């Protein structure tokens, strides 16, 4: 099994980042980790540990904030716990899950490796770093424990997996489009100037990009509900709105599929 791994390091407006990439049979995935003002935001994937551990070794930080429990964000948290003894924070709901052996489908273990157990503390509602106060913003939908972090001093917003891309075509089975819509509406009530996404990196014109994503999802929601009112079942709505099959759907055995967009909208909040 040939897994191609690479990474690139950089800095954007005082935010250091590592972008780790994994490629397997034409499916390419990537994930970012950020360091800003002594805060490490997300820890990368265990499969890319050589890249992320070097980044972690060289980075200057004294606390770790994790946006959500998924293994591409928590993969090197155990390494930090072992080598640095610094506090790691995650939403209260997933502390116990993260302290146990990871349990997720094989294709995710292939891409992201096996996340080792780690011990986190309860994410506060606000926190301070060396020069700033931060808001922790509840943004569930992609994951039920998902948070975004806003540096009040710089207006930099770290959105985890809330954004990722503007047009949503496939989501995980456990995701909910109506909940993501609510979360986008919530972050947009805050005063921020820049957006850093864990898969897209720095997002140009971040606020406008988040607004576009919100508007796309609202339009999609409307389309699904209209087709539902016309009596179409979920599978029919999917073929009408998402005629393409994406490689990740095949790869994941349907864990990532457009059908979950449709069913989560039909189910509502
Ligand atoms: Zn995620």
Confidence category of residue 269, pLDDT binned at 50, 70, 90: confident
* Model confidence at 1: pLDDT above 70: no
Per-residue pLDDT tens over the stretch 169-196: 999 999 999 999 999 999 999 999 999 9
Distance 31 CA to ligand 1 centre (A): 10
Residue 5 has pLDDT above 70, yes or no: yes
For ligand 1, the distance from its centroid to the CA atom of residue 68, given in whole angstroms, is 7
Token digits of residue 169: 């075509």
Angle at 57 between CA 156 and CA 4, to 5 degrees: 85
Backbone angles phi, psi at 235, to 5 degrees: -65, -35
Query: What's the confidence (pLDDT) of residue 74?
Result: 98
Q: 34 C-alpha vs ligand 1 centroid, how far in Å?
A: 15
- Residues 102 and 116: their CA atoms lie apart, in Å, by 7
CB 168 within 8 A of CB 184: no
Give CA–CA dist 67/39, Å, rounded: 12
Rounded Cα–Cα distance for residues 268 and 221 (Å): 10
Given the structure tokens 């993969």, which residue do they identify? 75
Residue 4: pLDDT over 90: yes
Helix 49-58 × helix 77-84 angle, to 10°: 40
Question: What's the CA-to-centroid distance between 72 and ligand 1, angstroms?
Answer: 7
Neighbours of ion ligand 1 (CB under 5 A): 70, 161
- pLDDT over threshold 90, residue 205: yes
Task: Measure 162 CA to ligand 1 centroid, in angstroms.
Answer: 9
Virtual torsion, Cα 198, 204, 209, 210, nearest 10 deg? 40
Mean pLDDT of the chain: 97
CA dihedral 165, 169, 170, 173 (to 10 degrees): 100
Run of H or E residues at 222 = helix 206-229
Residue 137 is inside which H or E element, if any?
A: strand 133-138
Q: What pLDDT is attached to residue 99? A: 98
Ligand 1 centroid to residue 20 C-alpha, Å: 15
pTM score, two decimals? 0.96
Q: What is the mean pLDDT of residues 57-74?
A: 98
List beta partners, residue 124.
none
* Strand order, beta sheet including 27-36: 4-12, 15-24, 27-36, 39-41, 63-65, 88-90, 121-122
Of 198-202, 211-215, 265-269, where does mean pLDDT reach its minimum? 265-269
Q: Distance, CA 71 to ligand 1 centroid (Å)?
A: 8
- Judge whether 59 and 39 are in contact, CB under 8 Å: no
Whole-number Å distance, alpha carbon 179 to ligand 1 midpoint, is: 15
Separation between Cα atoms, residue 188 and residue 197, nearest integer Å: 15
The pLDDT tens digits for 11-51 are: 999 999 999 999 988 889 999 999 999 999 999 999 999 99
Determine the pLDDT at residue 238.
97
* CA contacts within 13 A on the Cβ side of 221: 18
> Tokens 């990537």 identify what position?
30
């Amino acid at each position: 099994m040939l897994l191609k791994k690479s990474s690139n390091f950089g800095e954007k407006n005082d935010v250091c980042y590592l972008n780790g990439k994994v490629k397997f049979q034409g499916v390419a995935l990537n994930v970012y980790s950020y360091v800003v003002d002594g805060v490490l935001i997300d820890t990368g994937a265990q499969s890319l540990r050589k890249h992320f551990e070097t980044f972690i070794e060289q980075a200057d930080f004294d606390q770790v904030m994790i946006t959500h429990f998924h293994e591409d964000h928590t993969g090197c948290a155990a390494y930090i716990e072992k080598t640095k003894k610094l506090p790691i924070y995650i939403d209260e709901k997933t502390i116990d899950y993260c302290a146990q052996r990871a349990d997720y489908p094989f294709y995710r273990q292939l891409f992201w490796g096996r996340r080792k157990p780690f011990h986190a503390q309860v994410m506060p509602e606000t926190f301070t770093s060396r020069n700033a106060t931060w808001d922790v913003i509840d943004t569930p939908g992609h994951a039920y424990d998902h948070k975004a972090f806003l540096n009040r001093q710089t207006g930099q917003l770290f959105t985890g997996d809330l954004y990722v891309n503007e047009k949503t075509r496939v989501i995980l089975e456990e995701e909910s489009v109506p909940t993501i819509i609510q979360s986008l509406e919530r972050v947009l009530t805050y005063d921020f100037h820049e957006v850093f996404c864990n898969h897209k990196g720095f997002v140009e014109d971040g606020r406008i990009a988040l607004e576009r994503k919100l508007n796309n999802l609202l339009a999609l929601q409307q389309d699904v509900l209209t087709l539902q009112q016309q009596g179409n079942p979920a599978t029919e709505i999917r073929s009408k709105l998402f005629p393409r099959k994406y490689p990740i759907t095949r790869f994941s055995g349907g864990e990532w599929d457009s059908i979950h967009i449709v069913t989560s909208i039909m189910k509502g909040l």
